[in-house]
Structure 1
């Protein structure tokens, strides 16, 4: 409280990080052209140009077989989480499962270590509330002095997606996201939801809308009839093309979604410094969207990283609490809270336990071996090629949708990418 971050600190962070993030945004726009079916970068004469290379990652987490994250699930507990008292009980039971049962072990924990608690925003809010209620207790363990609350980036991205959905939904007759959902026959995306597959389908559809806009802009700025005509330009010319007179709504939409996808791509490749660089931009997004919960969470994180935590603790939070890698591959980093949610899905959906003799004692014994079951299942899938995933945002089926959106955006009725006076 005596040394808080202020507006000038946040603004200086924005200025410092802007040029770096702009490089990633420029590459994202180039990436969309070079990977398009019409342009086909493999046939492009200047595909090796230094202008078309991706910017170097700022701080990439190590990967490889020796850096695979191993998950140790705790036994499920028959404990509600409806009140602060319930959540406090859950925290104590978790420490019990980790072996901190005796007074001596808890004393040693509270005087020698920090414990990072990770989860969604509601969980973090409850944990901070518990610390507030405990602050007058007589010893450091009871006060929770060594406990750090860290929000999960997957849940933060979900809140970001909800903000984009709310801001750009528009009406059926407009040219916002709702029109795109109707054209692509994705009516279930018209209303945002925390349940079901909304937060799996919405980012993919958002990417298609962005890709359609950027394809149309490349054609407009390049003064050509189709994307493949741009292959006559060299890499330096491709990188310098900049649209400048489009409608402000399209410009604002593309700026916002490009920031979002730069962040998600950075997370996928394990670039924790890029994630940290995006925090001021995310902060302004949540302030503008009146999301007070994640405004507070980001301020708390920035305060901890910049002002409060020792350097080794700040590095531990960056390198071990934000992302995990269960495969060891360089482009398969996953948000830590997504791994937690996948564990919950395994418990409730993939490997549900049923029968008359199933009780909490049995579940507490069974659930810790679910990560092993998952590893065996993935090994079988890999060996027999029973399941494949696309490596790109778009699939052959999606390309038809992008063409449809592109045609709609560039129609004489819409004319979204032309400057029209008055």
Structure 2
């Protein structure tokens, strides 16, 4: 990382969350099913697997599970287990949103807006909090149905290929456009003027199609693919699973404490968000700032 880079690159963090999350839930399945190898689950009937899934969600990856751990006496509490459950509970909406975006399920995206609202409020992101409040208000109350449908269908996701599971967020699609303008079909020499860039940019969609058409006619190009291969994650995931199993991360142990105490606790952003929105009055302040009488007449002369 360079000195001028603030924070972690999104792609690095995203890949880490997927790998750590996969290891987390695989080890959780093994702990709850009491097996040392996931292959053993294939011998269990579907009813048992459904029951295990419900138990994993209810008791190990939900706010109900966190609440149940919080109601225990100090001697019975397990700080490590609570942090583990909160991590799983926070991770599921993230995976849900990412999958919904990839497959183009805008209904699931809209259902996750309240969760995003509480997370932004609790994570000290006031501008994003206002954006989500405004979006929910307009989608549920203010916009006409035709306009709501237009926003959902055309303003959240983009699909360059028309293929299934190939949807991108609009801002990510714009990054692809910027790459094509500045790199793939950038202008050279004396012709590299802003008017030329403005002229060539609308043709990028056609240029993409021509490139794909030419590439499809040559088997050597087809075999290369269009993306760089990713290093295998299997060894990393297996190592994490073994570590979680050895440390009994998913087991409850009375009186277990976090090393370093509360300073090492992750912030409970959902609870913090509910406090800011309801108790501290953030939602009420947002409404007061937009709920005022507006004039419907003009007070200036058109000629002026």
User: TM (normalized to structure 1)?
Assistant: 0.50
In the TM superposition, residue 191 of structure 1 has moved relative to its aligned partner by 6.8
Match of 1:326 among 147, 152, 160: 160
Q: Which residue of 2 aligns with 1:252?
A: 86
State yes or no: 1:378 paired with 2:212: yes
Aligned residues: 227
Listed as ranges, the matches of 1:389-400 within 5 Å are 397-400=232-235
Does structure 2 retain, via aligned residues, the 8 Å contact 1:410–1:416?
yes
Q: Which residue of 1 aligns with 2:203?
A: 369
Query: Which of structures 1 and 2 has the bigger CA Rg?
Result: 2
| 1:360-415: CA deviation from partner (whole Å, max 9, x where unpaired) | 1222212221222222223344443144378xxx967111111111122222xx33
Q: Which residue of 1 aligns with 2:236?
A: 401
Q: Structure 1 unaligned segments of length 5 or more: list them.
A: 1-185
Residues 263-272 or 207-216, more deviating: 263-272
Listed as ranges, the matches of 1:58-77 within 5 Å are none
Aligned equivalents of 2:224 and 2:215: distance in 1?
Answer: 6
State yes or no: 1:233 paired with 2:70: no
State yes or no: 1:388 paired with 2:199: no
Counterpart secondary structure, 2:41: helix
In the TM superposition, residue 261 of structure 1 has moved relative to its aligned partner by 1.0
Q: Which residue of 2 aligns with 1:420?
A: 253
Aligned equivalents of 2:209 and 2:196: distance in 1?
Answer: 22
Pair 258,381 (structure 1): closer, same or farther in 2 beyond 3 Å: farther
Pair 415,382 (structure 1): closer, same or farther in 2 beyond 3 Å: farther
Does structure 2 retain, via aligned residues, the 8 Å contact 1:286–1:294?
yes
Aligned equivalents of 1:214 and 1:266: distance in 2?
Answer: 19
Listed as ranges, the matches of 1:261-276 within 5 Å are 261-276=95-110
Q: Which residue of 1 aligns with 2:66?
A: none
State yes or no: 1:311 paired with 2:145: yes
Q: Which residue of 2 aligns with 1:192?
A: 7
Does structure 2 retain, via aligned residues, the 8 Å contact 1:347–1:367?
yes
Does structure 1 retain, via aligned residues, the 8 Å contact 2:27–2:241?
yes
Pair 382,261 (structure 1): closer, same or farther in 2 beyond 3 Å: farther
Aligned equivalents of 2:197 and 2:231: distance in 1?
Answer: 42
Match of 1:286 among 120, 143, 149: 120
What RMSD, in angstroms, separates the aligned Cα atoms of the two structures?
2.6
Aligned equivalents of 1:395 and 1:222: distance in 2?
Answer: 31
Pair 211,381 (structure 1): closer, same or farther in 2 beyond 3 Å: farther
Counterpart secondary structure, 1:301: helix
Aligned equivalents of 1:288 and 1:322: distance in 2?
Answer: 24
User: TM (normalized to structure 2)?
Assistant: 0.68
Aligned equivalents of 1:404 and 1:380: distance in 2?
Answer: 43
Q: Structure 2 unaligned segments of length 5 or more: list them.
A: 61-79, 256-304
Aligned equivalents of 1:387 and 1:368: distance in 2?
Answer: 28
Listed as ranges, the matches of 1:168-247 within 5 Å are 192-193=7-8, 198-241=9-52, 242-243=55-56, 244=59, 247=81
Q: Which residue of 2 aligns with 1:81?
A: none
Q: Answer 1 or 2: which has greater helix percent.
A: 2
Aligned equivalents of 2:91 and 2:237: distance in 1?
Answer: 16
Aligned equivalents of 2:132 and 2:114: distance in 1?
Answer: 8
Pair 318,353 (structure 1): closer, same or farther in 2 beyond 3 Å: same
Does structure 2 retain, via aligned residues, the 8 Å contact 1:283–1:299?
yes
Does structure 2 retain, via aligned residues, the 8 Å contact 1:209–1:405?
yes
Aligned equivalents of 1:351 and 1:374: distance in 2?
Answer: 10
